[in-house]
């Protein structure tokens, strides 16, 4: 097939496999004899945090290495991102979108009205992979949405990438997830009514950046240089599961308090504990180390 | 030959494997680690017969590479940023000892302000160490340049270490279509390593002794000539590579749509790709824009540049590193090369600390160079993508 430069942007959360999805799409395009590239937004990867990945596909060799600012295709691996990130920023007016959701395209307000495929990728992933890693399921819907690559090439790309990294069984289940998503994807037009959500960012001019490299209180926004101080950047928002504490069962051994990698478990004077959910990322370590099973991990961001 | 969709780091690892590297001393550092991890896997899986030596620092890694190379085997290592800085002391021993070590440096900024992202100041700070330095544009070139680096380094007329520099993350962690040559093809291109000086217990000798003033100056000039002479060998190796694999890169520098250009930009590393696209855009508007892709920072193509710049009214130079209060190191070098020709040279600093060089920044650079070509006065050095007005 002949296509001019086609640019794709993936939005997901750390752990959902957005980067692998971008790489697999690129590999499928190369299998079809095209040129392709895929790369993540180069930040520190963190489970649950919003992540972005990019892919470019072209019949000709691709020379551009910049990030993708005006995508032809938007792939959203986590619907909740629509509320917290300007996901659709720059999406071309004749662009397309693929969204992981149980809702139909007409029920989704992306902020830009475009052709859209929706697919319950999380449900499909849970069924085939027993984990909410939605990258291969969403790729099935990508094939359905735009005739960039065939399902056959996608299957081959998934087998190659996942097979090499995780073994044959993983390759099989991921191929099955993609196939089911291809079947189940609903295609329509999404709504473009809401304004794109904006993230509050401190972007000082060079004159405004305080001298020295220091992270301190009292400086603008609690931060001098960097992506955001902890006061403003509530990392608990990345949480997709939440600890539930049963004080009656607690034996006050404080293992959870000692083991919490975020230091967000607070020790009370009587050695019972409480969580600062502003910063709890729901890693579940506290529940793992609790000898009395006083901590359970509940699905969802709210305890 | 096989087509793979791999990262720049893995492309380099494939090249080091295909070169039948015999010793890999390494210390991990982001964004280089994928290279030595992949090599460790190749060795573990029996695909590469080499010794992988985990070093306790980059200083030690380079020391081990020196020992291995002096011992008569092919040595390869990789590093980045602070790792390269920690090697600094040992780096200087390699060229004067004429040890053909090949090293990949995945460009990353030096702290502070600490970051893991691309900037060329790590390798630019080593440009006077005597190492040859090549900067690559994409993953295919990363693989090809690494293979060529061994042949260049080991050529008896050269016998110098080569640093293959690739942009952190933009290449190291981006997957692209890469043609990986077959082992037999590579074996034909790259002969077995024939060491010049070999440490041998049967014939004791001292390598790198203290050198008094009576000799040091002659040794330095000898090295200066060797670096200069490498220019011819680079052209030869590039042509030979083209014959063997169907891809060649122009040697020290390459050009794009430069023939009848009025103004051009000079780039190195991954920014080149975006500049190509910008040139196409400007040409479609009828503007006579061109591009010079600088591949080697050492040896620096002083003469080649003067030839290429002939007819250019203005040449902009893009630096992804800063030489404080002097623009960037590439700019000062190009300005020196063109000091006796009428071409106006402007400096452009962009992509610092990993900031994305967006299409708009590139357009802005070309627009400025075009103004200079029309005879307008522009700043000697402009920072692009900077928040806040320049002073």
Q: Are residues A166 and A258 in the same domain?
A: no
Mean pLDDT of B224-250: 98
Q: Are residues A164 and A42 in the same domain?
A: yes
Chains A and B form CB pairs within 8 A to the count of 79
Identify whether A215 is part of a domain.
no
Rg (alpha carbons) of chain B, rounded to whole number: 21
Using alpha carbons only, what angle is made at residue A76 by residues A70 and A81, rounded to the nearest 5 degrees?
Answer: 100
Domains and their CATH numbers in chain B: 2-245 (3.40.50.970), 253-383 (3.40.50.920)
Identify whether A219 is part of a domain.
no
Chain B contact for A201, CB < 8 A? no
Report yes or no: B378 and B346 within 8 Å, Cβ to Cβ.
yes
Q: Are residues A39 and A106 in the same domain?
A: yes
Identify whether A202 is part of a domain.
no
Identify whether A204 is part of a domain.
no
Per residue, what are the HEC states of A128-187?
HHCCCCCHHHHHHHHHHHCCCCCHHHHHHHHHHHHHHHHCHHHHHHHHHHHHHHHHHCEE
Written as one string, the DSSP assignment of A50-89 is EEEEEEEEESSPP---SPPSS-SEEEES-TTHHHHS-TTT
* A99 DSSP assignment: E
Q: Please tell me the predicted confidence (pLDDT) of residue A221.
A: 41
Cis peptide before B31 (omega within 30 of 0): yes
Q: Is there a contact between A66 and B117 if contact means CB atoms under 8 Å apart?
A: no
CA distance B277 to chain A (A): 7
What's the rounded Cα separation, in Å, for the pair B13 and A143?
32
pLDDT digits (tens, 9 = 90+) for A177-194: 999 999 999 999 999 998
The residue in chain B having the minimum alpha-carbon distance to the alpha carbon of residue A68 is B358
Q: Please tell me the predicted confidence (pLDDT) of residue A247.
A: 95
Q: Is there a contact between B387 and A206 if contact means CB atoms under 8 Å apart?
A: yes
What's the rounded Cα separation, in Å, for the pair B136 and B100?
20
Q: Is there a contact between B169 and A38 if contact means CB atoms under 8 Å apart?
A: no
Domain of residue A268, CATH code: 3.30.70.20
Q: Is there a contact between B174 and A208 if contact means CB atoms under 8 Å apart?
A: no
Q: Which of A219-233, B84-98, B178-192, B362-376 has the lowest mean pLDDT?
A: A219-233
Q: Is there a contact between B177 and A204 if contact means CB atoms under 8 Å apart?
A: no
> Which residues of chain A does B357 touch, with a Cβ-Cβ cutoff of 8 Å?
66
In sequence order, what are the beta bridge partners of B4? B178
How far is C-alpha A155 from the geometric centre of its chain's CA atoms?
A: 22
Going by pLDDT thresholds of 50, 70 and 90, the confidence category of residue A197 is: confident
In this complex, which of B113, B276, B356 lies closest to A66 when CB atoms are compared? B356
In sequence order, what are the beta bridge partners of A47? A14
> Which residues of chain B does A225 touch, with a Cβ-Cβ cutoff of 8 Å?
113
pLDDT digits (tens, 9 = 90+) for B145-197: 999 999 999 999 999 999 999 999 999 999 999 999 999 999 999 999 999 87
pLDDT digits (tens, 9 = 90+) for A241-273: 899 999 999 999 999 999 999 899 999 999 999
The domain boundary, picked from A159, A174, A189, lies at A189
Chain B contact for A130, CB < 8 A? no
Q: Which of A144-158, A219-233, B377-391 has the lowest mean pLDDT?
A: A219-233
Q: Write down the ipTM of this complex.
A: 0.92
Identify whether A87 is part of a domain.
yes
Report the relative pairing of strands B253-256 and B296-298 from DSSP bridges.
unpaired
Identify whether A230 is part of a domain.
no
Q: Are residues A175 and A243 in the same domain?
A: no
pLDDT digits (tens, 9 = 90+) for A60-116: 999 999 999 999 999 999 998 898 889 999 999 999 999 999 999 999 999 999 999
What's the rounded Cα separation, in Å, for the pair B317 and B337?
12
In this complex, which of A42, A66, A204 lies closest to B274 when CB atoms are compared? A66
* A100 DSSP assignment: E
Chain B contact for A183, CB < 8 A? no
Q: Give pTM, 2 decimals.
A: 0.91
Report yes or no: A32 and A149 within 8 Å, Cβ to Cβ.
yes
pLDDT digits (tens, 9 = 90+) for B299-314: 999 999 999 999 999 9
Report the relative pairing of strands A186-189 and A295-299 from DSSP bridges.
unpaired
What's the rounded Cα separation, in Å, for the pair B375 and B312?
12
Mean pLDDT of A200-204: 75
Backbone angles phi, psi at A266, to 5 degrees: -100, 135
The pLDDT mean for chain B works out to: 97
Q: Are residues A116 and A239 in the same domain?
A: no
Chain B contact for A67, CB < 8 A? yes
Domain that holds residue A264: 235-299
**What is the count of structural domains for chain A?**
2
Where does residue A280 fall: left (phi above 0), alpha (psi -120 to 50 degrees), or beta otherwise?
beta
Q: Please tell me the predicted confidence (pLDDT) of residue A216.
A: 54
Q: Is there a contact between A206 and B388 if contact means CB atoms under 8 Å apart?
A: yes
User: Which residue, among B115, B177, B318, would best test binding to A if mutated, counting the most A CBs under 10 Å from its CB?
Assistant: B177
Distances (CA, A) of B9 to A262, B79, B178, B179: 32, 11, 12, 14
Q: Is there a contact between B170 and A39 if contact means CB atoms under 8 Å apart?
A: yes
Going by pLDDT thresholds of 50, 70 and 90, the confidence category of residue A218 is: very low
The domain boundary, picked from A173, A189, A205, lies at A189
Domain of residue A128, CATH code: 3.40.920.10
Q: Please tell me the predicted confidence (pLDDT) of residue A226.
A: 44
Q: Are residues A288 and A150 in the same domain?
A: no
The domain boundary, picked from A189, A216, A246, lies at A189
Per the model's pLDDT, the better-predicted residue between A48 and B11 turns out to be B11
In sequence order, what are the beta bridge partners of B158? none
pLDDT digits (tens, 9 = 90+) for B3-38: 999 999 999 999 999 999 999 999 999 999 999 999
Going by pLDDT thresholds of 50, 70 and 90, the confidence category of residue A217 is: very low
The residue in chain B having the minimum alpha-carbon distance to the alpha carbon of residue A28 is B5
Report yes or no: A153 and A31 within 8 Å, Cβ to Cβ.
yes
Terminal CA-to-CA distance of chain A, rounded, Å? Answer: 50
Q: Are residues A27 and A161 in the same domain?
A: yes
Chain A contact for B116, CB < 8 A? yes
- Residue A215, pLDDT > 80, answer no
Chain B contact for A39, CB < 8 A? yes
Identify whether A254 is part of a domain.
yes
């Amino acid at each position: 097939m002949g296509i001019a430069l086609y640019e794709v942007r993936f939005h997901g959360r750390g752990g959902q496999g957005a980067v692998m999805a971008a790489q697999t799409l690129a590999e499928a395009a190369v299998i079809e004899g095209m040129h392709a590239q895929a790369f993540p937004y180069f930040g520190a990867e963190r489970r649950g945090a919003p992540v972005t990945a990019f892919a470019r596909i072209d019949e000709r060799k691709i020379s551009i290495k910049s990030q993708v600012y005006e995508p032809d295709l938007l792939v959203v691996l986590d619907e909740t991102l629509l509320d917290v990130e300007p996901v659709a920023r720059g999406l071309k007016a004749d662009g397309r979108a693929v969204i992981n959701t149980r809702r139909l395209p007409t029920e989704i307000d992306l902020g830009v009205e475009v052709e859209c495929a929706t697919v319950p990728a999380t449900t499909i992933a849970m069924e085939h992979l027993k984990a909410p890693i939605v990258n291969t399921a969403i790729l099935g819907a990508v094939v359905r949405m735009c005739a960039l690559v065939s399902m056959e090439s996608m299957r081959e790309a998934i087998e190659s990438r996942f097979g090499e990294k995780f073994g044959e069984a993983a390759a099989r289940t991921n191929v099955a997830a993609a196939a089911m998503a291809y079947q189940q994807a609903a295609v329509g037009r999404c709504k473009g009514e809401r304004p794109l959500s904006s993230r509050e960012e401190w972007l000082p001019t060079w004159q405004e950046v305080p001298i020295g490299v220091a992270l301190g209180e009292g400086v603008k926004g609690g931060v001098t240089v960097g992506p955001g101080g902890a006061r403003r950047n509530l990392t608990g928002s990345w949480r997709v599961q939440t600890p539930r504490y049963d004080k009656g069962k607690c034996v006050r051994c404080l293992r959870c308090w000692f083991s919490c990698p975020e230091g967000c478990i607070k020790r009370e004077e009587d050695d019972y504990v409480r969580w600062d959910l502003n910063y709890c990322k729901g890693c579940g370590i506290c529940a793992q180390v609790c000898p009395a099973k006083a901590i359970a991990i509940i699905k969802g961001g709210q305890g | 030959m096989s087509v793979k969709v791999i990262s720049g780091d893995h492309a380099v690892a494939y090249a080091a494997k295909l070169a039948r590297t015999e010793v890999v001393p390494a210390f991990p550092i982001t964004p280089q680690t994928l290279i030595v991890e992949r090599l460790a896997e190749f060795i573990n899986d029996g695909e590469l017969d080499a010794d992988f030596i985990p070093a306790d620092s980059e200083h030690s890694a380079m020391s081990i590479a020196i020992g291995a190379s002096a011992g008569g085997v092919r040595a390869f290592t990789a590093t980045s940023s602070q790792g390269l800085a920690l090697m600094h002391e040992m780096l200087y021993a390699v060229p004067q000892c004429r040890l053909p070590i090949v090293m990949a440096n995945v460009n990353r900024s030096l702290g502070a302000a600490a970051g893991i992202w691309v900037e060329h100041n790590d390798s630019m700070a080593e440009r006077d160490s005597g190492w040859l330095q090549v900067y690559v544009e994409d993953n295919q070139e990363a693989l090809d340049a690494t293979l060529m680096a061994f042949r260049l380094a080991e050529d008896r007329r050269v016998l110098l270490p080569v640093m293959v520099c690739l942009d952190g993350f933009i290449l190291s962690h981006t997957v692209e279509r890469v043609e990986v040559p077959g082992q037999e093809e590579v074996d034909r291109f790259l002969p077995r390593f024939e060491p010049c000086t070999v440490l041998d217990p049967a014939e004791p000798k001292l390598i790198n002794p203290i050198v008094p003033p009576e000799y040091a100056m002659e040794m330095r000039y000898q090295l200066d000539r060797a670096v200069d002479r490498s220019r011819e060998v680079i052209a030869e190796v590039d042509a030979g590579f083209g014959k063997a694999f169907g891809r060649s890169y122009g040697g020290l520098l390459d050009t794009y749509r430069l023939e009848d250009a009025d103004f051009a930009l000079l780039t190195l590393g991954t920014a080149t790709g975006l500049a190509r696209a910008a040139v196409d855009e400007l040409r479609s508007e009828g503007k006579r824009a061109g591009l010079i892709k600088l591949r080697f920072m050492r040896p620096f193509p002083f003469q080649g540049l003067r030839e290429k710049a002939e007819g250019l009214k203005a040449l902009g130079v893009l630096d992804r590193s800063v030489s404080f209060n002097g623009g960037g190191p590439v700019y000062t070098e190009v300005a020196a090369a063109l000091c006796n020709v009428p071409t106006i040279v402007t400096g452009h600093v962009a992509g610092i600390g990993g900031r994305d060089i967006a299409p708009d920044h590139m357009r802005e650079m070309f627009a400025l160079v075009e103004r200079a070509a029309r005879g307008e006065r522009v700043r000697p050095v402009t920072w692009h993508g900077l928040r806040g007005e320049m002073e």
